[in-house]
Structure 1
Amino acid sequence: MSVIFLIIVGAAAGFLATRIMDVRTDVPTTIAIGVGGALISGLLMRFLLAIGSIAFGAIGAVLGAILLIWLWQRYSGRS
């Protein structure tokens, strides 16, 4: 089922991309363009998500440490 779905989405994406870029191609080439674009964008999005998750994890760690220091200073009586 996923291969059929990939071909359908690839055909739609390829159709839109060829019309936006004003390229006239046959149906198999349009599908190939759409499927190839989906694969490239999928890899790119996974890469960006991996980088983003590392960055968000680091930001979260710093914010968590700041909260812990604030709680420690507030409730331990130390400044």
Structure 2
Amino acid sequence: MGIVLYMIIIGAAAGFLATRIMDVRTDVVTTIGIGILGAIIGGLVLRFLLTVMGMLSGFVGAILGALLLIWVWQTYVKR
């Protein structure tokens, strides 16, 4: 249960920051979804940073993953 709550909180924060950086206006559920998927993508891509820098790198990876997901969504899906 703790991991799920952690993913929702981190996903909400990362999704919020990513949608503001990319200037995308979405509802709360979409923002959290973007953040959670971005955290998964960023976690897979930037896994090595977790061992080097700790939890902060996980948050950075989540934001970068969310930014990548928004870019893919705007480029390929939204048309």
Give TM class, smaller chain: 0.5 to 0.7
Residues 58-77 of structure 1: matches in 2 within 5 Å? none
State the alpha-carbon separation in 2 of the partners of residues 3 and 13 from structure 1: 15
Q: Which residue of 2 aligns with 1:22?
A: 23
State the alpha-carbon separation in 2 of the partners of residues 14 and 31 from structure 1: 6
Q: Aligned-pair distance for 1:27? A: 0.2
CA RMSD, Structure 1 to Structure 2 (Å): 1.7
Q: Aligned-pair distance for 1:46? A: 2.9
- The 4+ residue runs of structure 1 with deviation greater than 2 A are 46-49
Identity percentage of aligned residues? 71
State the alpha-carbon separation in 2 of the partners of residues 30 and 36 from structure 1: 10
State the alpha-carbon separation in 1 of the partners of residues 7 and 45 from structure 2: 17
- TM-score, normalization by structure 2: 0.57
State the alpha-carbon separation in 1 of the partners of residues 16 and 22 from structure 2: 10
Q: How many residues align?
A: 49
Q: Which residue of 2 aligns with 1:60?
A: none
Counterpart of 1:27, as a letter, is V
Q: Which residue of 1 aligns with 2:14?
A: 13
Q: Deviations over 1:12-68 (max 9, x none)?
A: 00000000000000000000000011000111123788xxxxxxxxxxxxxxxxxxx
Question: 5+ unaligned residues in a row in structure 1: which ranges?
Answer: 50-79
Question: 5+ unaligned residues in a row in structure 2: which ranges?
Answer: 51-79
